[in-house]
Chain A
């Protein structure tokens, strides 16, 4: 069993839909990260959470430390949101990644 698990692995949505990606982890963490990866490889950090909730534009990330679970929500999804979304646990600095969720938003 991987130390960081994401679901779903693939997600297709229609433009405007509300999207949720889930992440569960089994390791102790100092923070939980959500990252976005576009085709070609570039990875961009979206959020770093150690508790509660953070919001940036249409993106919202939440974490429940007791349940070792985090969610990434996208409101009013748009085709430009199509990418791979990866959660990662940071532990002694290094990141332990989930396998990623491939999101396609159709117009």
Chain B
């Protein structure tokens, strides 16, 4: 296993621009989660997929946010018309609960700064 990877690691953008982040989970992990963490706070749940199906979305995920996992492998998170309040660390995690446990393995995160 090479672990969960995320790309890019850092992104600086201007307000109003669109950004897209990618997450590659551990191979064979069928669940993939997106979380957001602002400075000094614990992460907050955004959405998760089981295979290619998006099973739950947080109310935090406004219409400007969209996530996909088209082939049940990697996932993308897009933010349209970014706002300064979107500045945060975006974390991805994967798990394989069918093996009888729910340990989630986290990627290094993508740190977004909206100017």
Q: Which A residues fall within an 8 A CB radius of B?
A: 4, 30-31, 33, 35, 40-45, 48, 86, 88, 90, 92-100
Known: A93-B55, A94-B56. 14 other contacts (CB 8 A): A4-B42, A30-B102, A31-B102, A41-B89, A41-B109, A42-B106, A42-B108, A45-B106, A92-B56, A94-B33, A95-B43, A97-B43, A97-B44, A98-B42
Q: Which of B4-59 contact A (CB under 8 A)?
A: 31, 33, 35, 37, 40-45, 48, 55-56
Number of residues from B at the complex interface, CB < 8 A: 27
Q: Can you list 22 A-B contacts (CB < 8 A)?
A: A31-B102, A33-B104, A40-B108, A41-B108, A41-B109, A42-B109, A43-B43, A44-B106, A45-B103, A45-B105, A86-B43, A93-B31, A93-B48, A94-B33, A94-B48, A95-B35, A95-B45, A95-B104, A96-B45, A97-B44, A99-B41, A100-B42
Q: Are A48's CB and B42's CB within 8 A?
A: no
Q: Which B residues fall within an 8 A CB radius of A?
A: 31, 33, 35, 37, 40-45, 48, 55-56, 89, 91, 93, 95, 97, 101-106, 108-109, 111
Q: Are B101's CB and A48's CB within 8 A?
A: yes
Majority SS of interface residues in chain A?
strand
User: How many angstroms between the C-alpha atoms of A35 and B102 in the bound complex?
Assistant: 13
